[in-house]
Structure 1
Amino acid sequence: MSRTAREQGLARCLSCAKLCRLPTPQRGGTYCCPRCESPISFRQSASLSYSWALTLAALALLVPANMLPILTVVSFGQGDPDTIMSGVIKLWDAELQAIAAVVFIASVAVPVAKLVVMLLLMLVVQLKLPLSKEQCTLLYRFIRFIGRWSMLDLFMISILVTVVHMGNIANVESGPAALAFGSVVVLTMLAADYFDPRLLWDLEHE
């Protein structure tokens, strides 16, 4: 079995990405990067605890993000607020299937997939589940990759609100779900950042 970087006394600085050897503690028992002098360690401190807290908070906010109105289009003084799913259905019924698919993927599929994957990864580490570490690492890289597209729905709403300036004829207003949805996106991104994927590989050496 190959030796890990930790077993060889090597750790990567999270600030400048320099691979450092940690021979002796410095500055009161802490290790510091020789390049940027940032504190470094073999694993992120309280990584799993922070990831759990952020993921559970995102799960709680996912309910109002999908149940509350996210957008209201007022035309000629009339308009009904739409949730994410009702908006997708209206777009589909209006024969705008491509836009409906983009909104559904960005607003429903991606956030749910990220939360499910985060829960799976944390359970693998917490319960030491016998899953493939290579596949778990690919899943982690996948949610980090799709995280950059998580704000697509809010981006579309902001463009729509900016473009539609027709006075009393039409008006577009964002709803309270937009804030909840934005919070879900930010919390899931932070949860993925705090999660240390090296914890997956530590299970093989315990």
Structure 2
Amino acid sequence: MSPDRALAQGLVTCLSCYQLLHLPAGASSGCCVRCGARVYGRVERSLMLTWALVITGALLLIPANILPVTTVIYLGSGEPSTIISGVFQLYHAGLWGIALIVFVASIAVPVMKLVGLTILLIQAQWLPPRNPVQSMKLYRLVAAIGRWSLLDLFMISILVALVDMGLIARVEAGPGSTAFATVVVVTMLAVRAFDPRLIWDAVERQPASPSAAAPTGGDAYG
């Protein structure tokens, strides 16, 4: 016989400070007594909102990688560079370390975040994971790597601010940088919108099997 769930007893965890709270009878949300954040038994319309943000981020990746992110103008002439072409230019110039950083921060990390969130959404909605602990590790990884996507934007901002020699040389940000910045923001919002507790709900909805082993670890989110 499985123990009663915390949610059935009105207990929820604040996703901001992880304080365990008791919701009033019949209430689906409340306010954290420690940090003041809004707490929910489950985030309302989490799957729908996360799907919308993930699809938006995937569509924005196309202009972010096709449109130029910077244009270096030297003595009145210049050639726009996309993220991919910038990586190749850095590599051929012998700056393979910087090329690798730009590739990971600007291409690999956004794609990994979108793929990871898609896997979590599918598991929460249709195919419950056999090992929910691994799914929680994937969620934490997706949440942790998002900040590294900002490296490329910092580099563009520094170049635009420093390289300004009037008619001799200057660096201009292109429309691709705007699309890429939007991708970063959208994926960060998608991580915030996804309620990881839905993974455990999906596991518990599965029909009980006598031969199935209970998942290791506990529900760290209440």
* TM-score (structure 2 length as normaliser): 0.84
Distance 1:47 1:34 in 2: 20
Distance 1:87 1:37 in 2: 45
Counterpart of 2:5 in structure 1 is 4
Counterpart of 1:32 in structure 2 is 30
Instruction: Write out aligned runs for 1:187-206 (5 A).
Output: 187-206=186-205
Counterpart of 1:41 in structure 2 is 40
Change (3 A) 1:130 1:12: closer
| Pair 1:114-2:113 in alignment | yes
| Greater displacement, 171-180 / 30-39 | 30-39
Counterpart of 2:211 in structure 1 is none
Q: SS at 1:151's partner residue? A: helix
C-alpha deviation, 1:16, in angstroms: 5.8
CA RMSD of aligned residues (A): 1.9
Question: Do the aligned partners of 2:105 and 2:151 also contact (CA within 8 Å) in 1?
Answer: yes
Instruction: Write out aligned runs for 1:38-77 (5 A).
Output: 40-77=39-76
Distance 1:88 1:167 in 2: 27
Q: Which runs of 5+ in 2 are unaligned?
A: 206-222
Counterpart of 2:170 in structure 1 is 171
Distance 1:176 1:34 in 2: 41
C-alpha deviation, 1:131, in angstroms: 3.8
Q: SS at 2:71's partner residue? A: strand
Query: Aligned partner of 1:108: which letter?
Result: I
C-alpha deviation, 1:78, in angstroms: 1.6
Identity of aligned residues (%): 49
Distance 1:166 1:187 in 2: 35
C-alpha deviation, 1:31, in angstroms: 4.3
Counterpart of 2:219 in structure 1 is none
| Greater displacement, 1-10 / 71-80 | 1-10
Question: Do the aligned partners of 1:103 and 1:153 also contact (CA within 8 Å) in 2?
Answer: yes
Question: Do the aligned partners of 2:28 and 2:41 also contact (CA within 8 Å) in 1?
Answer: no
Q: SS at 2:78's partner residue? A: coil
Query: Aligned partner of 1:32: which letter?
Result: G
Structure 1 runs (4+) greater than 4 angstroms displaced: 14-17, 36-39
Counterpart of 2:218 in structure 1 is none
C-alpha deviation, 1:186, in angstroms: 0.3
Question: Do the aligned partners of 1:70 and 1:84 also contact (CA within 8 Å) in 2?
Answer: yes
Question: Do the aligned partners of 1:124 and 1:131 also contact (CA within 8 Å) in 2?
Answer: no
Distance 2:114 2:43 in 1: 21
Q: SS at 1:56's partner residue? A: helix
Count of aligned residue pairs for this structure pair: 203
Question: Do the aligned partners of 1:24 and 1:31 also contact (CA within 8 Å) in 2?
Answer: no
* TM-score (structure 1 length as normaliser): 0.90
Question: Do the aligned partners of 2:50 and 2:191 also contact (CA within 8 Å) in 1?
Answer: yes
C-alpha deviation, 1:161, in angstroms: 1.1
C-alpha deviation, 1:136, in angstroms: 0.9
Query: Aligned partner of 1:202: which letter?
Result: D
Q: Which runs of 5+ in 1 are unaligned?
A: none
| Greater displacement, 81-90 / 5-14 | 5-14
Kindly provide the CA deviation profile for residues 184-206 of structure 1, in whole angstroms up to 9, marking residues without a partner as x.
Answer: 00000000001000100112222
Query: Aligned partner of 2:79: which letter?
Result: D
Distance 1:117 1:202 in 2: 19
